[in-house]
Amino acid sequence: MKKITLLLTLLISSVCFAQVVLENFDGATAPTLGFANGPGSATIVPDPASGGTNGNVLEVVTGAASAPWQQAELTLQNDWMDLTTTKTVTVDVFSNTSFDMLARVSGGTGPDSATDASHMGTGWETLTFDFNIARDIPDVANGLYPRIFFFNLWDSTANGWVCGTANCSPVSTSYVDNITAMSAPAPATCNDGIQNQGETGIDCGGPCAPCNVPPATAAPTPPNRAPADVISLFSDAYTSIGVDTFDTPWCGATTTDVMIASNPTKLITGLGCEGVEFVANRFDATAFTHFHMDIFTSEDTTNKSFNVKWSNWNGGAAEANAIEFSVTNANMLPTPNPGTWISIDIPLTSFTSIVNADRNDFVQFVISSDIGTVYYDNLYLHKDTTAGLDDVNGAAFKVFPNPTQNNWTISGNSMIQNVTIVDLLGKEVTSINPGKLDVEIDANGLKSGMYFARIESENGVKTMKLIKE
């Protein structure tokens, strides 16, 4: 496949601007590889179809009994992909089984973007990924990109992940070669003394990562809840269960223990994916209503997501089903980043089910995010018995009546600067900037159901649940 692709590239270049092979895995220096969200692997091996006579290729293996969004990650060594005008990337892929592949470009001067292509299972085929067609995430590629991820467990027809009733992650092996696109030199941005080209700070963040500034204060202190109303994985405020590991080997990120203002805190670097496993103390969460977690990042949160999943094993030795939630700018992830702790408190009924919504045997908690560095504390489930009063972040709010048929009144102990109401799908339905202690929200035009109010005040940010009758 290498010779064919190179010949085509030479022929095209004689008549017009051509795409070029940016990586063929035959260089003296190996590219940076990674694998996330599962027990699979991404390694460079001799081309299996030719016994190595055509050089090396990237072998992508997905593992079983894990997340369907397993991904092989590649960082280009030299020039970046230029998807500013020509937004296609071609890749030679070998497989004897037909499957759909999702490709995602990341870490560049434009938004992360994903699209897909289908393999017919005939051995080596050249797949064309058209990033004008956004799949899985809404943004169309527009800029220069140093990284590309490959997902083997994608379903193009469903525009979702392959997930059967027995196993959400069938074992899959494919081979990748000749990643071809328009090219551009890597931006000279990381030492020019200004914040540009996708950086989140001066000469750091984005394509120049890291740009990590730790929090200046400890995470907010949770409310005083009865022990029977909480199952804690990590928090000084409550007695936590014994966790086997906060740094599972089947995810690529690294979690370490740090002290923030004399308070034990977890620090995740290299997201991707991180897992928390507690096989020895698996638990039944059926009676619990809410998930809570406090997170902090110094990175840009615009167009990013922070995704959480609870893996339910149903009494077995592997995942039987799961529930997941994506925290984005449309619901609880602030933009721009306020530089303060972000408190996430979500009804478990708002999670999306994978296979079904059982909560009888939680064994793993998984985080996946395109925010590379995250601090967290107060990771727990609880029963909602606080009747609408929150004192997290030092900001106390009451909402009444709740439920309501007409209007909600939100009352705070500090000046309320902004209130944004979103529905369960994350769609914004109203936003106001009251600049006062009490604000009335007109609910007459809303359909019956559950909503979330994201409240910004002088003392912090909090999300509260609202019910319209």
DSSP conformational letter for 17: -
- Which strand (E) or helix (H) includes residue 23? strand 20-23
Residue 242 has pLDDT above 90, yes or no: yes
User: Rounded distance, CA 130 to CA 132, Å?
Assistant: 5
State which of 94-98, 126-130, 330-334 shows the largest mean pLDDT. 126-130
Note the pLDDT of residue 246.
Answer: 97
Residues near 409 by Cβ (< 8 Å), separated by ≥ 6? 399, 400, 401, 438, 439, 440, 441
Rounded Cα distance, 469 and 465, in Å: 13
**What residues contact residue 13 under an 8 Å CB cut-off, 6+ apart?**
none
Query: Measuring CA to CA, how many Å separate 237 from each of 220, 225, 264?
Result: 10, 9, 11
| Topology of domain 212-385, CATH | Jelly Rolls (2.60.120)
Question: Which pLDDT band, with edges at 50, 70 and 90, does 151 fall under?
Answer: very high
**Each residue of 276-306: pLDDT tens digit?**
999 999 999 999 999 999 999 988 888 899 9
Q: What is the pLDDT of residues 216-228, one digit of tens each?
A: 999 999 888 889 9
Looking at the predicted structure, is the pLDDT value of residue 198 above 60?
Answer: no
User: Is pLDDT larger for residue 269 or for residue 127?
Assistant: 127
189 — pLDDT class (breaks 50, 70, 90)? low
CA 422 to CA 399: how far, in whole Å? 16
Among 12-21, 188-197, 266-275, 374-383, top mean pLDDT goes to 374-383
Sketch the domain layout of the chain as residue ranges. Answer: 2-184, 212-385, 387-469
Q: What is the pLDDT of residue 14?
A: 39
Convert the pLDDT of each residue in 337-389 to its tens digit. Answer: 888 999 999 899 889 998 888 899 999 999 999 888 899 999 999 987 543 33
pLDDT > 70 in the chain, percent = 85
39-43 mean pLDDT: 89
Give whole-number Cα distances, 96 to 120, 162, 397, in Å: 8, 18, 59
Which is more confident, 59 or 408? Answer: 59
Between CA 66 and CA 77, with CA 299 as vertex, the angle to 5 degrees is 70
pTM of the model: 0.49
Q: Which pLDDT does position 211 carry in this prediction?
A: 64
Closest by CA to 349, choosing from 450, 222, 272, is 450
| pLDDT tops 60 at residue 130 | yes
Tokens representing 199? Answer: 């950086």
For residue 393, what pLDDT band results from cuts at 50, 70 and 90? very low
The pLDDT value given to residue 20: 95
d(CA 391, CA 389): 7
Q: Which value, in Å, is the radius of gyration of the alpha carbons in the chain? A: 24
Q: Which residue has the tokens 């030199």?
A: 185
3-state secondary structure (DSSP) of residue 259: strand
Q: Output the CATH code of domain 2-184.
A: 2.60.120.260
Tell me whether domains 2-184 and 387-469 share a fold: no
CATH 3.40.50.2030 matches 387-469: no
